[in-house]
Amino acid sequence: MTMQGMTRWLKPAALGVLLWASLAGPARAADFYLKAAAMTKTMPNAGPAITMWGYVLCDATFTPLAGQVVQVPGPRLVVPPGDTTLNIHLLDGLPSAGSETSNTSLVIPELPATMVPTWTDGTTGPRTSTTQRVRSFTQEVAPGGSVTYTWTSLRPGTFLYESGTHPSVQVQMGLYGCVTIDAAAGPPAQAYPGVSYDNEAVLVFSEVDPAIHAAVAAGTYGTAPYTSTINYTPKYFFINGAPYPDTLAAPIFTKPFVLGQRILLRFLNPGEETHVPVLQDLYMTVVAQDGYPLPFPRTEYSLILEAGKTFDAIVTPTTSGLHGLFDRRLRLTNNMASNGGMLTYLTDNGAAGGCPGTVGSTLKLSKSGGQILFTWGNIALASSYIVYQSNVASLAPFTQQDTLNPTAPADGTTGATMPMPPDNLVFFLIAGDNLAGGGCVGPQR
């Protein structure tokens, strides 16, 4: 624990949580407190509620911070540039899972660390027989206990953090997240020395086989038919923990999308399959993988995003429009249903190039009499929607602005209104509990 001499504050944002350190110093440490616990994720189209294991960001007493809930992927951990030590304090709040272990651990595959394995016979340290099998790649913790993992060889990059315990089960259950370390805070921030960006999006690709989750939740994993995960058959395919259309339920960018600006796409795959994200209408410049800068950047529209991989790519959209981003391995269903899975958009909502007004053909925003009218059709009605806003001029991070309870206008669409903000250079995204799309009201032109 090296909180001494540091000032920290938490700034809840639309995407994960950003931690900022304000004081420069020769040996700064970033400290994060995570609790691993169970949660439930409901699939779209009246799909099943799936038990998952995730992380919640806590204070030093492992009490969840305000507004923080257990989430999959876990909260993004932002290590301030220049910090030389990363401490992750982990409390095991996992439920009992029958014969399956509820002990857990945490690794960052891309960062060197001293690791002492724990074997399935419960012993730790060097192997003592040829029949031992590893349960945890590093020190594990039992339910109710906590442990601190420390990394001192930090470098800039986009990294995974994930369970190092029985990963074929625990990573599948959802114990993964993203760590980012920038080379310089900016603005503009630098992801790596010389790689500047104006805006960023974290894109975590993962899959779920509900049968394994059900077996773990029921405490029957380890008995037939789920004695191993060899017959893994994923049915749901997530970007940032949600399948399409729920991928649209929160902004993927940390700031408004402005044409001509450099967007850093941080791709991560804690899933078990290779995915091939394809960008529609755009090329990206791949600058790093696994937090190692590439010796020469590559320009491509597709990326072979293997299991356990991270990539950083810069994309600079210069034209308005709906730029699809989807998995060309065709993981584009929610179970059997079309129009689901690993699909989202890079949209230029509210950007200098103009506001397209519709996204995914589901949402329309218009200005009328000092009000903003939101209308949307052909989707299931949700009980509430959330409006995020940011200011295009200041490029501030998104903040939650309002909650809307929609009504049904006469034309059969769904709609709601909110007061027009005083400054019309304001950017919105809307999200709901069952939802929808994003939209914007752009600058007047």
Partner 1 sequence: MNGMRELGWAALLAASLMAAPAARADNLPGSRPPDPYRSRTEGIDIQCPGATDPKAVCVSIACGDGFVKMADGSDQYIFGFQDVAGIDPTVMWSYGRLGAEFPAPTIWAKEGQHLYLTLTNLGMIMRPDLFDPHTIHFHGFPNAASIFDGEPMASFGVTQNNSVTYFYDLQEPGTFMYHCHQEASEHMQMGMLGQLYILAAQDDLPDGTLLGTFTHHTGYKYVYDDGDGSTKYDVEVPLQMSSFDPHFHAADLGIQPPPFATMVDVYPMLNGRGYPDTVNPGGIMNNRNAYRSDIPNKVAQKIPALITCTQGQKVLLRISSLSTTEFNTLTAPGFPMLVVGTGAHLLRGPDKPDGTPGKNLYYLTQTITLGGGESTDVIVDTTNVPRGTYFLYTSNLNELSNDNEDYGGMMTEFVVN
Partner 2 sequence: MNRERKRMWTKEAATLAVLLLGIAVGSHATILGLTGTSPNPTFNFIAKQGYISTPDGNSIYCWGYANGATGAFQLPGPTLIVNEGDTVTITLQNQISIPGPPAVPGPAVSMIFPGQQNVSASGGTAGVLTQEAPSDGTTTVTYTFVAAHPGTYTYFSGTRMELEVEMGLYGALIVRPAGFDPNVAANRRAYDDPASQYDHEYLYLLSDLDPTLHPLVEQNKLDQYDNTTFFANNWLVTGRCFPDTMADPNVGYLPSQPYNTAPLTHPGEKVLLRFIGAGHDLHPLHHHGNNALMIAKDGRLLESAPGVSGPDLAVSDFTETVAPGETIDAIWVWYGYHLGWDEYGHTLGGPGPFQPNEIYAQSTLASSIGVADTTISVPAGTGHAFLPPPRTFRAIIWGAGYANPDLDPNREVVTATRSLTNPDTFTITRAQEGTAAQAWSVGSIIADTDHGLPLPVTMPSIQNLEFGQYASGSPFLGQSGALPPLQGGFNPYNGYYYMFHSHNEKEIVNNNVFPGGMLTMMGVLPYGAPIP
Q: Which positions lie near partner 2, rule CB under 8 A? A: 233-235, 244, 274, 276, 278-283, 296, 298-302, 304, 319, 322, 324, 326, 328-333, 335-336, 338-339, 341, 343, 360-361
The residues near 131 (Cβ < 8 Å, ≥ 6 apart) are none
Query: What letters, b where the CB count within 10 A reaches 16 and e where it falls short, cover 320-345?
Result: beebbbbbebebbbbbeeeebbbbbb
324 binds, among partner 2, partner 1, none (CB under 5 to 8 A by kind): partner 2
Work out how close the CB of 164 gets to partner 1 at its nearest, in angstroms, rounded to a whole number: 7
Only one residue has tokens 């993927």, namely: 252
What is the secondary structure of 184-199 as a DSSP string?
B--SSEEEETTEEESE
338 binds, among partner 2, partner 1, none (CB under 5 to 8 A by kind): partner 2
User: Is 147 an interacting residue with respect to partner 1 (CB under 8 A)?
Assistant: no
322 binds, among partner 1, partner 2, none (CB under 5 to 8 A by kind): partner 2
Work out how close the CB of 237 gets to partner 2 at its nearest, in angstroms, rounded to a whole number: 9
Strands 77-79 and 176-181: parallel
Work out how close the CB of 154 gets to partner 1 at its nearest, in angstroms, rounded to a whole number: 13
Work out how close the CB of 49 gets to partner 1 at its nearest, in angstroms, rounded to a whole number: 23
If phi > 0 it is left, if psi is from -120 to 50 it is alpha, else beta; for residue 222 that is: left
**DSSP code for 137:** S
Say if CB 282 and CB 219 are below 8 A apart. no
Site map for partner 1, 171-210, x if CB under 8 A? xx--------------------------------------
List the beta bridge partners of residue 83: none
User: Is 132 an interacting residue with respect to partner 1 (CB under 8 A)?
Assistant: yes
332 binds, among partner 2, partner 1, none (CB under 5 to 8 A by kind): partner 2
Say if CB 113 and CB 60 are below 8 A apart. no
Q: CA end-to-end span of the chain, whole Å?
A: 52
Span interacting with partner 1, options 55-63, 66-74, 114-122, 357-365, rule CB under 8 A: 114-122
Residue 380: phi and psi, rounded to 5, are -65, 140
280 binds, among partner 1, partner 2, none (CB under 5 to 8 A by kind): partner 2
User: Is 299 an interacting residue with respect to partner 1 (CB under 8 A)?
Assistant: no
Say if CB 158 and CB 288 are below 8 A apart. yes
Assign 315 to helix, strand or coil.
strand
Give 284 or 440: the residue with its C-beta nearer to partner 1.
Answer: 284
Binding footprint of partner 1, residue count (CB under 8 A): 51
375 binds, among partner 1, partner 2, none (CB under 5 to 8 A by kind): none
Work out how close the CB of 418 gets to partner 2 at its nearest, in angstroms, rounded to a whole number: 25
Q: Cα–Cα distance between 356 and 440 in angstroms, integer?
A: 8
Q: Which residues bind partner 1 (CB under 8 A)?
A: 107-117, 120, 126-127, 130-135, 137, 153, 164, 166-168, 171-172, 222, 224, 227-232, 272-274, 289-292, 294-296, 304, 306-309
